[in-house]
Chains A and B, each alone.
Chain A
């Protein structure tokens, strides 16, 4: 039933990897800012992943994933070219509005660099002057800086420790960009909540409209469960069907970050449980291999 074949896999670092999955209909329908929900196995959970790129000619979509929890680590270990995902549904969410901004700041932090890419490209296609600001913890984690250069007029790379590009967070990059270009009329920021909060704070004094892409916990992704509700100004919105893009100056990031911690204990338990299982499996394999060596009759 499931025929969501993985056609490319690239590892950017120990924790970050890219999967290109065949789904021609989805590649045709996808727009920047949308996401998919993936189940790696039949027993898996449904995890939302922002679409990092889509290729309508090849009929594929690209996902960039960070191995942080049980599911994403298991996928890192088990998803190879030729394998299939159990389920993938999308594109979900309202596509990002690509307006008529003349000068746009496209800010990506960590894993958020990936979903930022199709938006930067869309802005460039719409004729805007695009300034890319991409931030990482250190130079080993940097990816897609060359890809960004093909769709941006300027790219500022920031690293927390200064091992590549500008030293500091993306907020520092935003500050430099605004200093040089006071006429920036729109900013889009995608990344971890704390980074999007920092970006929204950096643009707030300059009154630059800032859109952020929120990543709360979800189950179905179709508005049915309400697990992804977020506070936007005085309103409650469901990120899956009302978003995921919202005005960064109205988002209650503290609320979002508290809600992301909802299953911390369970997630830790799942990861430990999985690590234990993996270790036992490995031991069993080693034992079987040793037995096979000692016993020539055993095959």
Chain B
């Protein structure tokens, strides 16, 4: 079949929109906001890829997915083939398709994007990943054991990514998690309407099929230390991905009033502990009727939108800079606005006011204006004198970032940096031989994909430390269409040979 060469003029000009729940309806339910592509929509969007020869998108992807190849498979309606190509490099397409900031990665450099809107690569990845879950596909490679035992601390995105790479390199991997369920921030933090739990569980299942063991209810540091993992438990290498997790407060008066909480607490109660189904689940929450969330990052957007769904009559976002400086993804701010969030840009809280029962009744703020740029390059907000105002509220949520969690530092001799995070070299090796760390506990609060990237980077370092040949370099050396020296069509799995 000789297809006519596509040009920028022949492809569908407009990006295929993804169906979404109506803002008014979705603001009151926890079902997913974006409904994903159907078969036809995916086909139309896949047709927008020019299959250009220089493939900037592959270089833009942190894990180097062969994007044009998987999109071509969608065009050919060979969806399992598309899934094969993605899972060569990324085991978690349903999660990454949803939470990656594609506008800064693959889609940001797409050739089509020079003239039109870029190809919706993330949505197509999600389409393939969701289809695999629905159809029960799983590409479990044949893995030859290397005899190495690897321990991972924390079953969040960094730990999951690191575990997958180490398991594929033939290591016997155990992941320890303090909560009663694996998933980390994907489970307790990101709400169901952005990333449904079924998707996380399906992706975790694939990790289990790789032979990875998850040990929940295990607080590493206190139950046994990092040093004990190396000396007594016999792990040849250890990865620490415990997340940042020690929420910041501002230190303004009234923070200990009832009704003041961190975004982490609100989200954990609602998402992981299912307080929204109270009293069928036992964890209480006491949702606010008028909620003020301080901060404008992705966590703040999640807190605002969760509050709406818990039945709040009004939700206010309070941020001391303007919309331009807000750290949240543009799409999140847009979605939150559609759902009815009231944004108070250039407003800074100064005091939380309480009633006689020590419960919040109002948040006092001041208006700000932007002055000269500060060391971060953003214009510094300056208080406008006499501009105080009060927001009537019965719940104040702090979403202004986190500090370093102290548990690992308290219980090990690992070197920490000045801010209390774990100190590492450029390969993410810590001060103890064989112990690596990555994600928020090294860098401070960041994104899911950055944590996954760190987990994979640490895995490369761990493989080198253990003397394992990196499977990715094997892959790079293979000619197109071949995988580890065997043509793809001849087998349904990838064979990993280790030096």
Contacts and interface: CB of A to CB of B under 8 A. Distances in A.
Nearest to B283: A45
Interface residues of B, number: 43
Nearest to B242: A222
B405 A241 contact: yes
A265 B255 CA distance: 21
Interface stretch (A86-94, A108-116, A124-132, A291-299): A86-94
B180 A266 contact: no
Nearest to A235: B251
Instruction: Place the interface of chain A in its size category.
Output: 35 or more
A222 B242 CA distance: 10
Contacts, number: 135
A46 B283 contact: yes
Contact of B407 (A45, A222, A231, A274): A222
Interface stretch (A138-146, A254-262, A282-290): A254-262
A87 B255 contact: no
Contacts of A221: 178, 219
Interface string B341-369: 00000000000000001100000000000
A45 B247 contact: no
A34 to B, nearest CB: 8
B222 A91 contact: yes
A44 interface: yes
- A interface, over-half SS: mixed
A36 B23 CA distance: 42
A158 B357 CA distance: 33
Contact of A94 (B217, B256, B284, B410): B410
A87 B282 contact: no
Contacts of B247: 224-226
Given A43-B282, A219-B268, A219-B269, A224 B245 contact: yes
B99 interface: no
Given A43-B280, A223-B246, A231 B178 contact: no
Contacts of A29: 222-224
* Residue of A25, A70, A219 contacting most chain B CB atoms (<10 Å): A219
B264 interface: yes
A25 B223 CA distance: 7
A192 interface: no
B256 A219 contact: no
Contacts of A227: 261-262, 265
A180 B247 CA distance: 47
A87 B406 contact: no
Interface in A64-114: 70-71, 86-92, 94
Given A86-B180, A88-B217, A236-B249, A222 B278 contact: no
A262 B282 contact: no
Contacts of B262: 225-227
A248 to B, nearest CB: 18
A55 interface: no
Contacts of A2: 217
B249 A226 contact: yes
Contacts of B251: 236
Nearest to B181: A87
Contacts of A261: 258, 357-358
A236 B249 CA distance: 9
A225 B268 contact: yes
Contacts of A89: 178-180, 217-219, 223
A262 B286 contact: yes
B159 interface: no
Given A223-B405, A224-B268, A266 B278 contact: yes
B279 interface: yes
A242 interface: yes
A36 to B, nearest CB: 9
A87 B215 CA distance: 12
A270 B283 CA distance: 10
Contacts of A249: none
B243 interface: yes
B224 A25 contact: yes
Nearest to A231: B256
A17 B285 CA distance: 28
A80 B443 CA distance: 46
B273 interface: yes
A224 B273 contact: no
Contacts of A222: 178, 219, 245, 405, 407
A220 B243 CA distance: 14
Contact of B180 (A39, A238, A258): A39
Given A258-B358, A263-B284, A270-B284, A90 B223 contact: yes
B264 A225 contact: yes
A262 B258 contact: yes
A220 B242 CA distance: 13
A269 B279 contact: yes
14 contacts: A43-B280, A90-B219, A92-B222, A219-B265, A224-B247, A225-B264, A226-B265, A227-B262, A242-B406, A258-B358, A259-B358, A261-B258, A263-B286, A273-B279
Interface of B: 178-180, 188, 216-219, 222-224, 243, 245-247, 249, 251, 255-256, 258, 261-262, 264-265, 268-269, 273-274, 278-286, 357-358, 405-407, 410
Given A222-B407, A224-B268, 14 more contacts: A1-B216, A43-B280, A87-B180, A219-B273, A220-B179, A222-B245, A223-B246, A225-B268, A226-B249, A261-B258, A262-B286, A265-B286, A270-B279, A274-B279
